[in-house]
């Protein structure tokens, strides 16, 4: 292998390395700032987030997040694969909520190709998306509690999430990387048995979340660790482009399920919880409330879910059923064409966004009429939310940094893409 | 007492001293194995888990298996670490906890050294722990370890003040610093325990009860803080500082910290028990007295002391798995704004009561 020489490195990078202030000098007796490298291997950075902190004692003077340790180049990879092939990759974006990512991506594809999934399929998509939201928020609450030191809550919330994963096992056929949705529908129908199990889960869920809240909400240490920490005002939140619980925790009532209804959210009766404080505690409360709202939505979805087809009958765009491929010539040809050349949506560009557990997950797709996207841009909520971190942590203590990261709840798979 | 027994038996004072010094070590090892298993089980059952189940009945051999594992681990010293200090620190931390066992009266027959200034001695030797932790933090040449060590030093030194105030309360009421005498004064039933006013006569006993109770609570909180357990485990706060001052340690050196932590948990519990809850005295009287077997009494006393001590160790575990961690400024605020004033006023009131 050729050894790297100075000329190989981009001058910009060299300049940045030279100008970064990582030198510590002790010329002045009162000069007591320390540069602390936090991560990428650190128990509280939720994956491989790296923070470089400048500390004055325990107080944070400056913070520089370093992203990209989990960069897999998904946006570029998408340009070399068909739309169908990209669905499993969306599982790996926000790896705590794969079904919601699947839903977001196929909605974008359908918008691009001008398709409309059957009603039942859309209801099923809502069902899995809301279950995902619950699972993701449970992890967020548990991880936040663990970051401030309450380990037991984490295990309790994971126990509840485990039940959701078991439901996914029954509904989607996989617990974690579900790849459940298809362009024009979903992969499998939801059985009545699965709906019954979901109902049972929702029925006992209220009690469990009360239990978790009882342990945290009345705990003075927990409250004082989060109250007034990492405050972001409504104006700042909008300017930073924050979405999801962060934005609603700052008092802005913005939820894409309400603002630009997709699927059948406009038919659902649910509240958008908002808190004015904008601190970590408010974000925690928003997540707790959203858990209850999601449970409410799931009950309504199950009530209203009609019988019928789960996948669109559109041979040029939607994969035919497996049984038909083996028995009918036409279906075999379509299957071959879709798998090998893709669905060839008309040339154009669209932006489609949904409210994911972490915030607004958007897909900007440019098509040249080919089987694979010409450009696919992922607007991932964790990436955008993370840019508020340097603003939030300055002036707080080292212990608050982990609480703030926990309340932002970034998922590096999504932030690094 | 036990010293004379062994000296007579072996005819050598030195041998006797060595045996007596080794006995607490045996106790610590057995106790750490038990406490380690208990901690896993307590945490597991609080978190809807089962904890270790495979090794032995309900996993009771798990700590032994872990000990064997940890003995085989490579002993890593980081390249830029200060080797001498790095190796000395865990020993020093353990010595601080172990030395405290010398003055703890396990029963009327078994106390390593029956010191007149037992309470003061325990306070003094526990301070060695701070030195050990600071050494570990500095020698590791690691920023997390350094922050953890500095936190620990600030914390332990601060929380010694309310502890000393409460010890002063006990001294005023009991008139002694000797832990054995303190336990003897609380003999009889649990009504004579200092938490219930001790053996003070008349109305003063009842007037003392609330203040003794406050003293007990303050003492317990500050002693939990001194042993660096949650909610005061900032020096090793795993979500912030990875592992605090023992981030760089591995193998047996790491195990020394583990031993020291559990030993320390027992020392602070034993101190609370000896001061407020009758020490080794039984709450109801002795079976040995009842059936007239005098040699049974010290064994019963050992049993009661261990049970009381383990109960408070259990409470510490209970707290650990329930409560979040305080922040540094909140930790200091709790000490300087609440515990110290309360302890000080408590001291004033108790001294006033005892003068009357």
Summarize pLDDT for A234-290 with one digit per residue, the tens.
888 888 888 888 888 888 888 888 888 888 888 888 888 888 888 888 989 999 899
> In chain A, what residues touch B237 (CB-CB under 8 Å)?
149, 399
Phi, psi of A2 (to 5 degrees): -75, 140
Give the best residue of A45, A147, A152 to mutate against chain B (max B CB count within 10 A). Answer: A152
> In chain A, what residues touch B327 (CB-CB under 8 Å)?
224-225, 397, 399-400
Radius of gyration of chain B (CA): 21
Q: Do the beta carbons of residue B242 and residue A43 sit within 8 Å? A: yes
Q: Do the beta carbons of residue A187 and residue A181 sit within 8 Å? A: yes
> In chain A, what residues touch B230 (CB-CB under 8 Å)?
149
The answer to whether B322 contacts A58, with C-beta atoms less than 8 Å apart, is no
With an 8 Å Cβ cutoff, is B105 touching chain A?
Answer: no
> Which ipTM value was assigned to this complex?
0.79
Q: Is pLDDT of A198 > 70?
A: yes
B63 falls in which pLDDT band (50, 70, 90)? confident
A389 falls in which pLDDT band (50, 70, 90)? confident
Summarize pLDDT for B216-250 with one digit per residue, the tens.
888 888 888 887 777 777 777 777 777 778 888 88
Nearest residue to A110 (alpha-carbon basis) of A130, A129, A83, A92: A83
- What does the pLDDT read at residue A19? 65
> In chain B, what residues touch A146 (CB-CB under 8 Å)?
239
What stretch(es) of chain A map to CATH 1.10.645.10? Answer: 74-312+346-379
With an 8 Å Cβ cutoff, is B337 touching chain A?
Answer: no
Strand partners of residue A417: none
Eight-class DSSP state of A416: H
Laid out side by side, the sheet with A59-66 consists of A33-38, A50-56, A59-66
| Count of C-beta atoms within a 10 Å radius of residue A325 | 17
Report the C-alpha gap between A63 and A408 in whole angstroms: 15
A191 falls in which pLDDT band (50, 70, 90)? confident
SS3 A1: coil
With an 8 Å Cβ cutoff, is B49 touching chain A?
Answer: yes
With an 8 Å Cβ cutoff, is B141 touching chain A?
Answer: no
Residue of B238, B321, B327 with shortest CB distance to A397: B327
The tally of CA atoms less than 13 A away on the side-chain side of residue A337 is 14
User: Which residue's entry shows tokens 């202030």?
Assistant: A21
- Which residues in chain B (231-290) have CB-CB distances under 8 A to chain A? 231, 233-234, 237-242
SS3 A353: strand
Report the C-alpha gap between A284 and A267 in whole angstroms: 27
B196 falls in which pLDDT band (50, 70, 90)? confident
With an 8 Å Cβ cutoff, is B89 touching chain A?
Answer: no
> In chain B, what residues touch A215 (CB-CB under 8 Å)?
322
Q: How far is A36 from chain B (nearest CA, A)?
A: 7
Given 1.10.645.10, 1.20.1290.10, 3.20.20.100, 3.30.70.100, which CATH number is that of A74-312+346-379?
Answer: 1.10.645.10
The answer to whether A215 contacts B322, with C-beta atoms less than 8 Å apart, is yes
Geometric angle at alpha carbon A211, from A209 and A217, rounded to 5°: 90
Report the C-alpha gap between A149 and A153 in whole angstroms: 10
- What does the pLDDT read at residue A219? 84
Q: Where are the alpha helices (DSSP H) in A114-219?
A: 119-147, 151-172, 192-217
- What does the pLDDT read at residue B118? 82
The answer to whether A156 contacts B328, with C-beta atoms less than 8 Å apart, is no
Contacts of residue B293, defined as CB under 8 A and 6 or more positions apart, other chains included, come to B287
- What does the pLDDT read at residue A14? 67
Q: Is pLDDT of B314 > 60?
A: yes
Give the best residue of B324, B328, B331, B338 to mutate against chain A (max A CB count within 10 A). Answer: B324
Q: How far is A39 from chain B (nearest CA, A)?
A: 10
Stretch among A104-108, A127-131, A284-288, B302-306 having the lowest mean pLDDT: B302-306
SS3 B68: helix
- What does the pLDDT read at residue B104? 85
The answer to whether B328 contacts A58, with C-beta atoms less than 8 Å apart, is yes
Give the best residue of B141, B230, B239 to mutate against chain A (max A CB count within 10 A). Answer: B239
Is the Cα dihedral A3, A6, A11, A12 positive or negative?
positive
**What percentage of chain A carries pLDDT values higher than 90?**
1
> In chain A, what residues touch B240 (CB-CB under 8 Å)?
44, 398-399, 401-402
Helix (H) / strand (E) element for A94: namely none
Contacts of residue A197, defined as CB under 8 A and 6 or more positions apart, other chains included, come to A167, A170
Q: Where are the alpha helices (DSSP H) in chain B?
A: 2-10, 13-46, 62-72, 83-100, 118-139, 143-174, 179-185, 203-226, 238-241, 251-276, 287-290, 296-320, 328-333, 340-355
- What does the pLDDT read at residue B111? 75
Residue of A156, A225, A397 with shortest CB distance to B47: A156
> In chain B, what residues touch A152 (CB-CB under 8 Å)?
43, 46-47, 321-322
> In chain B, what residues touch A36 (CB-CB under 8 Å)?
143-144, 147
Contacts of residue A202, defined as CB under 8 A and 6 or more positions apart, other chains included, come to A295, A298, A299
Report the C-alpha gap between A147 and B42 in whole angstroms: 21
Give the best residue of B240, B243, B330, B334 to mutate against chain A (max A CB count within 10 A). Answer: B240
The answer to whether B327 contacts A43, with C-beta atoms less than 8 Å apart, is no
Going by their DSSP bridges, the two strands A181-182 and A59-66 should be labelled as unpaired
The tally of CA atoms less than 13 A away on the side-chain side of residue B173 is 34
User: Which residue's entry shows tokens 């194995």?
Assistant: B33
Eight-class DSSP state of B325: P
B271 falls in which pLDDT band (50, 70, 90)? confident
The answer to whether B234 contacts A399, with C-beta atoms less than 8 Å apart, is yes
- What does the pLDDT read at residue A31? 61
Contacts of residue A76, defined as CB under 8 A and 6 or more positions apart, other chains included, come to none
Query: CA of A280: how far to CAs of A140, A148, A231, A289, in Å?
Result: 12, 11, 7, 14
A30 falls in which pLDDT band (50, 70, 90)? low
User: Which residue's entry shows tokens 């609080």?
Assistant: B46
> In chain B, what residues touch A228 (CB-CB under 8 Å)?
none
Summarize pLDDT for B66-105 with one digit per residue, the tens.
888 888 888 888 787 888 888 888 888 888 888 888 888 8
Nearest CA in chain B to A214: B322
- What does the pLDDT read at residue B1? 65
The answer to whether B47 contacts A34, with C-beta atoms less than 8 Å apart, is no
The tally of CA atoms less than 13 A away on the side-chain side of residue A225 is 32
């Amino acid at each position: 292998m050729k050894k790297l020489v100075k000329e190989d490195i981009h001058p910009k990078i060299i300049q940045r390395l030279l100008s970064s202030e990582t030198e510590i000098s002790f010329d002045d007796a009162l000069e007591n700032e320390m540069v602390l490298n936090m991560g990428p291997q650190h128990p509280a950075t939720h994956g491989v987030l790296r923070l470089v902190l400048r500390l004055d004692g325990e107080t944070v003077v400056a913070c520089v997040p370093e992203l990209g340790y989990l960069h897999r180049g998904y946006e570029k990879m998408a340009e070399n694969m068909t739309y169908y092939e990209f669905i499993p990759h969306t599982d790996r974006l926000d790896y705590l909520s794969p079904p919601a990512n699947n839903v977001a991506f196929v909605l974008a594809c359908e918008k691009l190709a001008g398709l409309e999934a059957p009603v039942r399929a859309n209801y099923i998509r809502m069902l899995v998306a809301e279950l995902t939201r619950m699972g993701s928020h449970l992890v967020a609450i548990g991880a936040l509690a663990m970051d401030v030191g309450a380990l037991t809550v984490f295990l309790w919330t994971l126990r509840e999430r485990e039940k959701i994963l078991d439901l996914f096992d029954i509904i989607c056929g996989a617990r974690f990387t579900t790849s459940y949705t298809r362009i024009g529908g979903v992969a499998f129908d939801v059985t009545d048995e699965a709906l019954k199990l979901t109902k049972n889960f929702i029925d006992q869920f209220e009690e469990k979340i009360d239990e978790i809240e009882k342990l945290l909400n009345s705990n003075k240490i927990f409250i004082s660790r989060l109250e007034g920490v990492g405050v972001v005002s409504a104006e700042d939140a909008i300017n930073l482009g924050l979405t999801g619980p962060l934005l609603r925790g700052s008092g802005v009532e913005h939820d894409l399920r309400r603002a630009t209804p997709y699927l059948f959210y406009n038919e659902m009766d649910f509240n958008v919880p908002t808190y004015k404080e904008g601190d970590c505690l408010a974000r925690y409360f928003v997540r707790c409330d959203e858990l209850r709202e999601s449970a409410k939505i799931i009950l309504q979805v199950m009530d209203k879910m009609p019988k019928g087809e789960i996948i669109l009958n559109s041979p040029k765009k939607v994969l035919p059923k497996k049984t038909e491929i083996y028995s009918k010539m036409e279906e075999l040809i379509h299957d071959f064409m879709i798998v090998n050349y893709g669905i060839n949506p008309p040339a154009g560009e669209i932006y489609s966004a949904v409210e994911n557990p972490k915030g607004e997950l958007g897909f900007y797709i440019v098509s040249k009429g080919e089987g694979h996207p010409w450009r696919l841009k992922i607007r991932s909520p964790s990436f955008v939310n993370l840019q508020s971190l340097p603003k939030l942590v300055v002036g707080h203590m080292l212990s608050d940094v982990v609480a703030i990261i926990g309340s932002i709840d970034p998922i590096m798979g999504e932030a690094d893409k | 007492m036990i010293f004379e027994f062994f000296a007579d038996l072996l005819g050598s004072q030195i041998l006797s001293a060595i045996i007596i010094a080794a006995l607490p070590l045996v106790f610590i090892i057995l106790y750490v194995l038990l406490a380690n298993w208990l901690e896993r089980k307590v945490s597991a059952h609080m978190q809807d888990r089962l904890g270790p189940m495979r090794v032995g009945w309900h996993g009771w051999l798990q700590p032994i298996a872990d000990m064997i594992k940890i003995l085989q681990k490579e002993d890593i010293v980081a390249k830029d670490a200060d080797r001498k200090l790095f190796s000395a620190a865990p020993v020093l931390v353990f010595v601080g906890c172990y030395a405290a066992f010398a003055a703890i009266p396990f029963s009327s027959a078994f106390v390593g050294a029956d010191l007149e200034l037992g309470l003061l001695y325990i306070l003094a030797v526990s301070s060695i722990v701070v030195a050990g932790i600071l050494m570990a933090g500095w020698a590791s040449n690691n920023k997390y370890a350094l922050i953890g060590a500095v936190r620990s030093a600030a914390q332990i030194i601060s929380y010694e003040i309310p502890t000393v105030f409460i010890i002063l309360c006990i001294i005023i009421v009991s008139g002694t610093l000797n832990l054995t005498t303190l336990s003897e004064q609380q003999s009889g039933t649990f009504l004579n325990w200092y938490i219930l006013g001790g053996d003070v006569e008349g109305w003063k006993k009842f007037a003392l009860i609330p203040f003794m109770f406050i003293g007990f609570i303050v003492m317990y909180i500050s002693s939990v803080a001194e042993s660096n357990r949650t909610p005061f485990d900032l020096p090793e706060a795993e979500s912030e500082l990875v592992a605090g001052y023992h981030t760089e340690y591995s193998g047996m050196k790491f195990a020394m910290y583990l031993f020291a932590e559990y030993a320390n948990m027992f020392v602070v519990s034993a101190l609370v028990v000896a001061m407020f809850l009758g020490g080794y005295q039984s709450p109801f009287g002795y079976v040995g007295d009842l059936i007239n077997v005098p040699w049974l009494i010290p064994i019963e006393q050992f049993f009661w002391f261990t049970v009381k001590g383990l109960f408070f160790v259990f409470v510490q575990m209970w707290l650990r798995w329930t409560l979040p961690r305080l922040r540094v400024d909140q930790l200091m605020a709790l000490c300087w704004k609440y515990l110290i004033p309360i302890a000080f006023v408590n001291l004033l009131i108790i001294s006033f009561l005892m003068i009357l």
